[in-house]
Amino acid sequence: MATRLVNIVIAATDLPGLARFWSALLGWPIAREAPDEVEVSAPADQGWPLDLSFDLAPTAKSGQNRIHLDLASASAADQAAIVERARDLGARSVDIGQRDVPWEVMADPEGNEFCVLEPREDYQNSGALAAVVVEAPDPVALAGFWSVATGWSVGKKVIVPEGDFVGLVPSNGRGPWLEFLPEHGPKTVQNRLHLDVAPYPGDSQEAAVDRLMALGSRRADIGQGNVPWEVMVDPADNEYCILTTR
């Protein structure tokens, strides 16, 4: 039995500020606000229960993120409007070596990179958030791991000179994709963004941990202390958490 993706977690030094930015940019409401966590929830009509969860970070971001978000657009005019709205909310365009591409590379108020994509047929059912993009030394292998961890299937695979590109599509065909592309460089710091998965009813957290460890994952200590979730790293050393059954 697969676990399911429930949260995209973003570390922030200004929890309410960054949560308000992403809430306004995506059009997702703030569902819960506490001193150490703020949750922004996808609308029910997206078809996939998913939260952006903002956790308090002790330090500011350093280096380019290994995991980033891609935003969908419906037309060239819509893409331009999203870019303008992002700038009005405090984002800026950034150069990470992307050269002449049809998407806009930006950074949120805390420096987290994200892309505003040109219209693409693949994301017509994704809602505002097109994809969660993960850099990997072996995109095919890591996509295989996360296919088991989420229960999502391969929706596309593209071979490019830099390496394979693999996209996993949600089981109901709606909501953001989970995509893997060749990394720019090895991981050197703890990821600013990570994923949370949870077992389905009838499964257990312990069984999920054992199942994913058998696929190359392992437990990790990032100073979390005594918490009810298991902090793990995937086969490419990306942190993620296995929550309790819900």
pLDDT tens sequence across 27-66: 999 999 999 999 999 988 776 678 999 999 989 999 899 9
Name the average pLDDT for the chain: 93
- For residue 227, the one-letter residue type is V
> pLDDT tens digits for 105-146?
999 999 999 999 999 999 988 999 999 999 999 999 999 999
Which residues, 6 or more positions from 88, have their beta carbon under 8 angstroms from its beta carbon? Answer: none
Residue showing tokens 């980033």: 68
Predicted pLDDT of residue 203: 93
User: Of 81, 130, 71, whose CA–CA distance to 106 is shortest?
Assistant: 71
Asked if residue 55 lies in contact with residue 16, where contact means CB atoms within 8 angstroms, the answer is: no
For the chain, the domains span: 4-242
Specify the CATH architecture of the domain 4-242: Roll (3.10)
Global pTM?
A: 0.94
214 CB neighbour count, 10 Å cutoff: 9
Predicted pLDDT of residue 216: 97
- Torsions phi, psi of 97, nearest 5? 90, 20
